[in-house]
């Protein structure tokens, strides 16, 4: 029982670390998007993108709060965000990265996009692992 708690606790710390790393990659990338006028080039009004992005960041913060309160919903939010960010970054940026060179500011811009994709996927996977651990702990208690 104690060993299971330690595993869930360690994975939980991993979710928090990955969530913070996701902020590290998404915030500068989105600032670069706005600085280069990417939303306007895609025909999307900047206020609409700003609303979506700020909602995602707020949701991520609520998820971190709930993880701190040991609530399952925090991991569900992070699993969803772990899918959302890589899909959004990959769909919007990978075709451009793969088709032309150099991409925006060069290596650092590509680094942010790849970071979003890799960290997002890891965040989703680790969040799902924690949810499975919590579920198995509940089943063994019952």
Is 86:93 a contact under the CB 8 Å cutoff?
no
Domain that holds residue 78: 2-141
Report how many domains make up the chain.
1
The model's pTM is: 0.87
CA distances from 111 to 3, 42, 97 (A): 37, 22, 11
Per-position pLDDT tens, the chain of length 142? 334 454 667 889 999 999 999 999 999 999 999 998 888 888 999 999 999 999 999 999 999 999 999 999 999 999 999 999 999 999 988 888 888 677 888 889 999 999 999 999 999 999 999 999 877 776 676 6
Portion of the chain with pLDDT greater than 90, in percent: 66
Helices (H), the chain: 2-35, 38-41, 46-68, 72-99, 107-141
CA distances from 25 to 10, 43, 63 (A): 23, 24, 18
């Amino acid at each position: 029982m104690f060993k299971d708690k330690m595993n869930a606790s360690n994975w939980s710390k991993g979710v928090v670390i990955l969530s913070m790393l996701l902020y590290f990659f998404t915030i500068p990338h989105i600032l670069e998007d706005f600085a280069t006028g990417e939303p306007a080039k895609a025909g999307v009004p900047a206020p609409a993108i700003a609303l979506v992005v700020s909602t995602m960041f707020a949701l991520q913060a609520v998820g971190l709060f709930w993880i701190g309160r040991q609530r399952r919903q925090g991991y569900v939010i992070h699993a969803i965000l772990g899918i959302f960010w890589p899909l959004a970054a990959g769909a919007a940026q990978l075709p451009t990265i793969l088709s032309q060179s150099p991409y925006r500011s060069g290596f650092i811009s590509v680094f942010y996009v790849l970071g979003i994709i890799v960290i997002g996927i890891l965040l989703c996977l680790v969040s799902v692992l924690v949810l499975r651990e919590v579920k198995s702990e509940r089943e063994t208690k019952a």
